[in-house]
Structure 1
Amino acid sequence: MAVDPDHGVEEFFDGSTEGLALYNAVAEAIAGIGAASVRVSKSQIAFRRGRGFAYVWRPGRYVDSQVAAVLSFPLPRHVDSSRFKEVAHPAESVWMHHIELRDVADVDAEVRSWLTEAFNNAD
């Protein structure tokens, strides 16, 4: 799932080559899990499989932040990890986990395992 200009990914990360590189790392990790569609909106890029299971967004658009990208994903359980900036509980069976991405190395085996779980729960 490489960057496809038709999806609007490059425009979303206009002015942030670091953010685009982080998105690419997430997209490559997801491509290694399975097929997903990509939807770019004004506020985020969503990876979908039946429903959304991973979201990349630019926090600097909404709050004062030096972080180029945040990866958010819903799981049916709360994962306790110091890697999460925040875990929200918006619905009875959904915990939304938010990770600040600072380097492509942040998209490691642990993150890929969480993305795999989110992917499997999105059908």
Structure 2
Amino acid sequence: MRDDAERSPEDLFDGFPEGLALCRAVQMAVSTIGEATTTATKSQVAFRRRRGFAYVWRPGQYVNSAVPAVLTIVLPREVRSDRFKEVVHPSANVWMHHIELHEADELDDQVLGWLAEAFASAG
């Protein structure tokens, strides 16, 4: 098994093509906002500037779930929306907003706006 420095989104989503397609769709969406690094570990794909601002992960890795991918958007404030499966507040000025993704078209203007805000706050 490769160490995290050599992992790719294909490693994380090996055998889960729907999740990989959603991860790549998030990567394309992020690229329309600006330049960010993409790092894959055994648990997630992270999009970063100075800090991480978005993460894609496969919930089936941890619990019994048919959801292909979850997008976590890190914002400096809490956003209330029915689109979020969960919002957690791990530290001051950090709210992690989890969106279950089933289709790439869920990455609409509203989600892109949240990603752009997260991108800006991570700079």
TM range (shorter): over 0.9
Q: How far apart are 1:7 and its partner, in Å?
A: 5.3
Q: Which runs of 5+ in 2 are unaligned?
A: 1-5
Q: Corresponding residue for 2:121?
A: 121
Q: Corresponding residue for 1:71?
A: 71
Q: Distance in 2 between matches of 1:28 and 1:13?
A: 17
Once the two structures are superposed, what CA deviation does each residue of 1:48-75 show, in whole Å capped at 9, x if it has no partner?
1011000000000001110010000111
- Equivalent position SS for 1:84: coil
1:36 and 2:67 aligned: no
Q: Corresponding residue for 1:87?
A: 87
Aligned length in residues: 118
Q: How far apart are 1:47 and its partner, in Å?
A: 0.4
Q: How far apart are 1:12 and its partner, in Å?
A: 1.3
Q: How far apart are 1:33 and its partner, in Å?
A: 0.1
Q: How far apart are 1:28 and its partner, in Å?
A: 0.6
Instruction: Detail structure 1 runs of 4+ shifted over 2 Å in the superposition.
Output: none
RMSD of the alignment, in Å?
1.0
Per the normalisation by structure 2, the TM-score is: 0.93
Once the two structures are superposed, what CA deviation does each residue of 1:21-61 show, in whole Å capped at 9, x if it has no partner?
10111011000000000111111000010110000000000
Q: Distance in 1 between matches of 2:38 and 2:57?
A: 13
Cα pair 1:7 1:38 within 8 Å, conserved: no
- Equivalent position SS for 2:85: strand
- Equivalent position SS for 1:23: helix
Cα pair 2:7 2:41 within 8 Å, conserved: no
1:16 and 2:6 aligned: no
Letter of the structure 1 residue corresponding to residue 26 of structure 2: V
Q: Distance in 2 between matches of 1:11 and 1:50?
A: 25
